[in-house]
Amino acid sequence: MGKEARAWGQLSDGESDGKLLWEPPKLIFRGAVRGIYQGHALRDIRAEGNDIVLSDGTRFTLDPGQADKWVHAILNPPTRLDKLGVKPGMSVVVDGVDDEDFLEELSTRVEAQVGAGEDFEGVDLLFLAADDLGQLDRLEDLQGALAEKGAIWVVSQKGKTAPLKDVDVLAAARGVGLSDTKVCAFSKTHTALRFVRRKG
């Protein structure tokens, strides 16, 4: 969901060629001079010709036709549902994810079904809560509920005190023939790993 390009940066402490990165919510410039911008610094961002201009006068010159696209992306950051790939019309199942904010967000885009994932079929996206290895044992059966291009998001606690580590989730999923394709910050307390059936 981010962006990356070469740019000429005119910053408060100098000018240089460098790499401009949009990693929501941060705009990052890495060159001989460096800068990280977010929040208030991006509030009045605008495009002037080939330049992105920030409220403090900082400028980044991009290839022709790119500035408007960058400004649009920065002013319209992806939502959590965008990052998770939830699209209208999808068949979505929520299995054990107890997050009222997420369920409410989900209801604005799809009619999600809540329950044991293996009780459904033709599922495009399945969100599985997992906080112990026993819950990961269900991954093999849950594959059978997926549509041909369906995916399982394993949602688990993050941080040093989390009962499951990412390596545990990855090992369990790979062990039943799933491939990991993406990781997403699900909330302040949880992370999500996306898995699909391994090709071939």
Kindly report whether the global pTM for this prediction surpasses the value 0.75.
no
Cβ atoms 129, 162 nearer than 8 A: no
Question: pLDDT value at position 1?
Answer: 56
Tokens standing for residue 150: 């369906």
In order of 48, 69, 137, the CA distances from 51 in angstroms are 5, 11, 52
Q: Where in the chain is the domain with CATH 3.40.50.150?
A: 80-197
Q: Where in the chain is the domain with CATH 2.30.29?
A: 3-75
Residue 176, SS3? coil
Q: Which CATH number is associated with domain 80-197?
A: 3.40.50.150
Radius of gyration of the chain (CA): 20
Architecture in CATH for domain 3-75: Roll (2.30)
Query: pLDDT, tens digit, for every residue of 61-112?
Result: 999 999 999 999 999 888 899 999 999 999 999 999 999 999 999 999 999 8
Q: Give the Cα separation of 195 and 180 in Å (integer).
A: 4
Query: pLDDT, tens digit, for every residue of 122-137?
Result: 999 999 999 988 899 9
